[in-house]
Amino acid sequence: MNDGESGSPKLGQIVKILRGREANQYAVIIGFVDQKFVMLADGDKRKFDRPKRKNLHHVELTDFVSPEVKTSLEETGRVTNGKLRFAISKFVNEALTDWKKGDSLDGERRCN
């Protein structure tokens, strides 16, 4: 993994999908195929029992690892779709909200 990515992928880590039909969406790493591929699920369109195999070059690793998902996968080898949805919404609400507070991309275009 010496291609500029921030560390190696971890179980329960949130990733942003960069390529394919689900581009610009977030998913959780629920397994590994080999050095190059991971298994992703989001608990919504992509359920735990039908994960997506994705090339690591086609995802952007975030710094956020969901402790709930990681613990569940390590203890039982499974995780509920609800936990996956919760982890992604928690990441989107916390990490991305903090980023948006400090820096708005194109000025004040909020519709309240």
Query: Residues 36-88: pLDDT tens digits?
Result: 999 999 999 999 999 999 999 999 999 999 999 999 999 999 999 999 999 99
Task: State the pLDDT at residue 109.
Answer: 45
Q: Is the pLDDT of residue 2 over 60?
A: no
> Radius of gyration of the chain from Cα atoms?
15
| Rounded CA separation 11/84 (Å) | 12
- Domains, the chain, with CATH or none: 13-95 (2.30.30.30)
Q: Is residue 37 within a helix (H) or strand (E), and if so which, with residue range?
A: strand 37-41
Task: State the pLDDT at residue 51.
Answer: 97
76: Cα separation from own chain's centroid? 20
Structure tokens that stand for 91 in this block: 């990441």
